[in-house]
Structure 1
Amino acid sequence: MPDSSNRSPAARAPRGIQSVEVGGRLLQALLRAGGALPLKALAEQAGMSAAKAHPYLVSFGKLGLIEQDEASGHYGLGPLALQLGLVAQQRLDPVRLAGEALPALAAQIGHTVAIAVWGTQGPTIVRIELPPTAIHVAMRPGTVLSLAGTASGQLFAAHRPAAELRPLLKAERPKIDAAELEQRLGRVRAQGLGISVDALVPGVSAMAAPVFGPDGALLLALTAIGPSSIFDVAARGAVARHLQAAAAHVAARLGRAAA
């Protein structure tokens, strides 16, 4: 009996239908374009000739995956593609998807990691993962975070409407000057990260990366927290890179196109 253990990874890979994969490049090209394209441009984006692309487009049109505008002749995504997207979107749970990323993220950065969402009282921790190390900072689900004094809070404050933030900021202790807060939030928007160092608890630092939905709304924050003595708070440091990579992965699974 032949020994299959020595086969190459390519040989062991499931067999697909090449023509489907080739045609799928046209759908991927339309997604990247974000709108309808003429035949020649669409074919070029998919890496094929117009003559090769056209039969695929005809078949996709019969299925409703693609439709052709009668006036311009341009090709765009059809009703079936839109329906599939809506069904997939309805089944996606941002917290569940982000939660799946937490164990690997905690192991990578060596610190406690958590998910924060916007709740009725402000940014709220809903999921926590401890690192496989003896030294870590503990948090509890349900903790409501300071808008001005925490990494996740600043991240949400930088992306929520001012009218929504105003009553919560009034209740914050200690108070913070409005101009100083806006300066902090400006840095958060510029860096794409919320960072706090010894802000509320001496010796504890944190960093938060945003997960945006397809419409650009902030869905949740992936947060890392640890002892300041060993926590890398650099905006381009190792913790930041791992947080942002995990956030981008979750956002992509939710349907957000890469920046």
Structure 2
Amino acid sequence: MDNVLSFSRGRVPLLISMPHPGTRLTPAVEAGLVDEARELADTDWHIPRLYDFAVEMGASVLAAQYSRYVVDLNRPSDDKPLYATATTGLYPDTLFDGRPLYREGMTPSKEERARYLAEVWTPYHRTLSEELARMKAEFGYALLWDAHSIRSLIPHLFEGRLPDFNLGTNAGASCAPELAERLQAVCAGVSNYSHVLNGRFKGGHITRHYGQPEQDVHAVQLELAQCNYMDESAPFGYREDLAGPTREVIRQLLQAFIDWGRERYGR
């Protein structure tokens, strides 16, 4: 399997991880999907476009090319559940709304899925781990921003409408508390957007595994409600009128992240 990820190295100790914008499918996955799944509704649509300014800010950017329907890069390799509530696993078998992802008898084989783990999941996490290690070696610390988006209304996963900006720090374990406070302050300063810290989305495997503030690696997940930058129904069009203001808030959050690191570590 080729072209499983895209990666660009930056000049500041901030890595932006994008595990779910991919739309590529393997033959086995594509052949087995139910018709309702073929529009790939559970994709984190347009995230690389939404964050394209981050390269100018000096951030490193890592983005997946394969769909989460192939293998979910934000789940642990042993597929242990991350949430006690409804969720999807390393190899999703259901859509976010709870409907089956595959036609009966058409789920990829264990051997096929083992290949996805080796050839899609592993290269992504190897790149992520190596880049964080490089940043620590060069700067003495590393900052990780895990960039996600999701439909604002999914009753199967959460009640009511999701807040606009959902910050996750693994209940405070993945970054310094003063950093979380700094990011919350940015969100609080924008009156036309709602936000929450460690609400329904506290951070997935990437935030939980790599966020080690005691080792000077600070990780934060942003789960963004998609109504703030795109149409939430097919064909899932990008809305520049919505995305422009939202991008500015994300820019402020990333700049606050970078500034905090420089203040904390002096470089």
TM exceeds 0.5?
Answer: no
Asked which structure has the greater RCO (Cα within 8 Å, sep 6+), the reply is 2
Q: Greater Rg, structure 1 or structure 2?
A: 1
TM-score (norm 2): 0.26
The structure that is helix-richer by fraction is 1
